Amino acid sequence: MGAWSAAGTALLKKLEGCKLTAYVDQAGVWTIGYGHTGHEVVPGLSWTQQHADDALNADIGRFAAGVTPLVPPNLDDNQFSALVIFAFNIGLASFAGSTARRLVNEGQLSGVPAAMEMWNKIHDPATGQLVVNPGLQNRRLAEVQLWNTPV
């Protein structure tokens, strides 16, 4: 079974960045640390770097545990880590219903990168229409790069 990798940690830290004061993300969700969300994240909340690092490790553990039963055990560590980072961003429920997960489970691993790259859009606040978000597009490309990196 693929396991979480150090490369996964490095990429997730790079993609999320670390903010030690709570802020509202692009989706309108209160967030702190390395993309941590939850009922405890409220306006004015501040963390130490150690708290942010601890929360990241807990979040990685939670998402890795959520992805593990949804995929077969034949993935390498970078493929597994790329899927965990993907799920971290889109949510476990969305990951569970994604084409990327379906392709993994069908053994069509070569199709997974394109399926992940489809998740690069947000709703335009002015029109309500789905539009490509450059930040998400870059994130998907980084996840795909990790997926494609041999262990």
Which residue shows structure tokens 């509202």? 24
Total domains present in the chain: 1
Whether 118 is covered by a domain: the verdict is: yes
| pLDDT at residue 33, rounded to an integer | 98
Domain extent for 67: 6-148
Residue 112 lies inside a defined structural domain of this protein: yes
| pLDDT band for position 34 (cuts 50, 70, 90) | very high
Q: Of 16, 40, 106, 117, which one is the catalytic site residue?
A: 16
CATH number at residue 38: 1.10.530.40
Three-state SS at 122: strand
Burial class (CB in 10 A: 0-12, 13-18, 19+), 136: middle
Instruction: State yes or no: is 16 an active-site residue.
Output: yes
pTM, full prediction: 0.95
Structural domain contains residue 82: yes
Q: What is the pLDDT of residues 35-73, one digit of tens each?
A: 999 999 999 999 999 999 999 999 999 999 999 999 999
- How many residues make up the chain in this entry? 151
| Confidence at residue 27, expressed as pLDDT on a 0 to 100 scale | 83
Let me know if residue 1 belongs to a domain.
no
- Summarised one tens digit per residue, pLDDT across range 107-150 is 999 999 999 999 999 988 899 999 999 999 999 999 999 999 99
